[in-house]
Amino acid sequence: MTITTADLQRLFAMIAADIAVNRDRLCELDGVIGDADHGIAMDGGCQAAATAVAALDPATTEPATIFNTAAKAFLNAVGASSGPLYATAFLRAGAAVKGKSTLTDDDFVALLTAMADGIQQRGKAEPGEKTMLDAWKPAADAARNARQAGASLPASLAAATEAARTGCEATAAMLAAKGRASRLGERVLGHVDPGAASAVIIVAAMERFVGTIG
């Protein structure tokens, strides 16, 4: 497959649409162990990113610019914790495809690893600390491993979504080491991390997106 700048504009629109329908659910998850605004932040950030990206001319814009534009728009719409984390993820994605005019299947799989690494470095988190990294890192690893084993792009992204979901569910059994939930001790047990839940939605949107590439 060849993924163009116009395709990536569509990707950000699909992510924004999927986050929007889950906005209130993400707020409810956050209300249990945080301050109930995660859905608002993710919705605001993804809408801003999609809008900013849509305003670019696909004929003269490289894929890297799509990600860099999304990063700045997301960050300035949101602030909060998710702003710096996703802004860094998108900036690393942009750096990973710098200079390319279109993306190959391998490029797209590599985006997930770049994003997961960016989130990990900005948040200074490790796996197992009940954060969005617990969905992003397994998703990136699963996509990379599937791809290296010869899987198609859709199959690689399907593996990523599955791993993100499993990783998110596993956060219910974790104590929180980062963010506001870290002050709650054992009261967070039994509740998934809202950041991991929104990560699943984004990875699933990326899977849905590659299914639409002809």
Interacting residues toward other proteins by CB under 8 A: 24, 27, 31, 33-37, 39-41, 44, 75-85, 122-123, 178-180, 182-184, 187
CA distances from 31 to 19, 24, 167 (A): 17, 10, 20
Phi-psi region of 80 (alpha: psi -120 to 50; beta: other; left: phi over 0): left
The label of the residue with tokens 């932040």 reads 41
Q: How far is CA 168 from CA 147, 149, 164, 176, in A?
A: 22, 24, 6, 13
The minimum distance between CB 213 and other proteins, in angstroms, equals: 32
- Work out how close the CB of 82 gets to other proteins at its nearest, in angstroms, rounded to a whole number: 8
Instruction: Give whichever of 153 and 174 is closer to other proteins, judged by the CB atom.
Output: 174
Nearer CB in complex with other proteins: 88/161: 88
Q: Which is nearer to other proteins, 122 or 208 (CB)?
A: 122
Beta carbon of residue 29, minimum distance to other proteins (angstroms, whole number): 12
CB nearer to other proteins: give 76 or 148.
Answer: 76
Q: What are phi and psi of 103, to 5 degrees?
A: -110, 140
State both tokens at 207.
Answer: 């899977």
Nearer to other proteins, 3 or 71 (CB): 71
What is the SS3 assignment for 138?
helix
Question: Min. distance of Cβ 38 from other proteins in angstroms?
Answer: 10
Residue 132 Cβ vs other proteins, minimum distance, rounded to whole Å: 12
Residue count of the chain: 214
Q: Give dist(CA 160, CA 51) in Å, integer.
A: 26
Query: 3 or 133: whose CB is closer to other proteins?
Result: 133
User: Closest Cα partner for 203 from 114, 122, 140, 126?
Assistant: 140
CB of 2 to other proteins, least distance (A): 34
For the beta carbon of residue 55, count every other beta carbon within 10 angstroms.
Answer: 11
